[in-house]
Amino acid sequence: MASKTLSIKKNILSANAEKADETRGLLDNSNILMINIMSSPGSGKTSLLMQTISHFKDKYGIAVIEGDVASSIDADKILSQSIPAVQINTGGGCHLDANMVRNAIEKFDLNKTDIIFIENVGNLVCTADFDLGSHKNAVILSIPEGDDKPRKYPTMFAEADIVLVNKIDVLPHFDFDIAAFPELITGFNPSADVLLVSTKTGEGMDKWFSWIEAGLKEKIKIH
C-alpha cells in the first residue's frame, strides 16, 4: 500500500514538473522573470509585494498570481495598485501547482510583462514540493516566528534562492538569534542569499530590489 501511495505521488510530481518546465520555456521566450514567494501566513508576503510594486511599477511590467485557500483579499490589494492580478483559491489545498499557475499566466498580456510574482499559499510544509515554472524561489521568515523554523521545515529553506528575514524592526522584542541565522541557512543551502528586511520601515528593501534586477539581467544574458 505504501509503495502504491509513493508511486502515485511520484506520478503527480513528474506531471507537475513537466508542466512547470513548459511554462518556464514560455516565459523564457517572452523574457519574463517569475518569482515564487513562499512563507507561513502573516510573515509579510503581500506587504513585500505591495512595496515591491510601488518601487518598480513605473519601470517594469508587473503581474501577480495570488494563492490562498479562500477569498480575494490579497488580489484586491494588488489590483488597488493598478497591477494585473489573478487570485487562485485552492479550496483547502495547501499549495499551488503548475497547472493552476499556467492557467493564471494565460490571463496576462505577456508582451507587457517583465516580472510575474507568485504569492504561494501560506505554509512552510507543502508549497516547496511543487515546481510552478518559476525561475527563483523567495522564502520569507519573519522575526516573531522564531529562528528555529529552518530546522523544523528544512525543505522550504533548501529550495530557496533567497531567504528574507522580515519584520527586522521588531527584533528587540523577540529572542531571535540574528547573528547566527545566516550561517544556519548556509548549512541547509550554501547558495541562498539571506537578507534582513522590514517592509514596514523599508530597511534592507534596496537589497531585495537589487536582487530582483540582478535576476532580470541574468535572464537577458542567458536568452
DSSP conformation letters of 138-177: EEEEEGGG-TTHHHHSHHHHHT-SEEEEE-GGGGGGS---
47 binds ligand GDP (CB under 6 A): yes
Single out the residue of 16, 74, 104, 197 in contact with Mg ion (rule: CB under 5 A). 74
147: left (phi over 0), alpha (psi -120 to 50) or beta: alpha
- Per DSSP, which regions of the chain are E strands? 33-38, 62-68, 85-89, 115-119, 136-142, 162-166, 193-196
Residue 20 CA to residue 73 CA, distance in Å, equals: 26
Single out the residue of 199, 205, 212, 219 in contact with ligand GDP (rule: CB under 6 A). 199
43 binds ligand GDP (CB under 6 A): yes
Residue 18 CA to residue 169 CA, distance in Å, equals: 41
| Residue among 19 and 45 whose Cβ is closer to ligand GDP | 45
67 binds Mg ion (CB under 5 A): no
CB of 158 to Mg ion, least distance (A): 23
Binds 216: which of ligand GDP, Mg ion, none (CB < 5-8 Å by kind): none
Kindly list the strands in the beta sheet with 62-68, ordered across the sheet, starting from the edge strand earlier in the chain. Answer: 85-89, 62-68, 115-119, 33-38, 136-142, 162-166, 193-196
Specify whether the CB–CB gap between 107 and 86 falls below 8 A: yes
Specify whether the CB–CB gap between 209 and 14 falls below 8 A: no
Binds 187: which of ligand GDP, Mg ion, none (CB < 5-8 Å by kind): none
| Residue among 131 and 145 whose Cβ is closer to ligand GDP | 145
Binding positions for Mg ion, 19-48, rule CB under 5 A: 45-46
Binding positions for ligand GDP, 148-187, rule CB under 6 A: 166-167, 169-170
Q: Which one of 39-47, 83-91, 186-194, 211-219 is the stretch in contact with ligand GDP (CB under 6 A)? A: 39-47
Q: Which one of 42-50, 91-99, 123-131, 208-216 is the stretch in contact with ligand GDP (CB under 6 A)? A: 42-50
Name residue 4's amino acid.
K
Binds 198: which of ligand GDP, Mg ion, none (CB < 5-8 Å by kind): ligand GDP
- The residues binding ligand GDP (CB under 6 A) are 39, 41-47, 122, 166-167, 169-170, 198-200
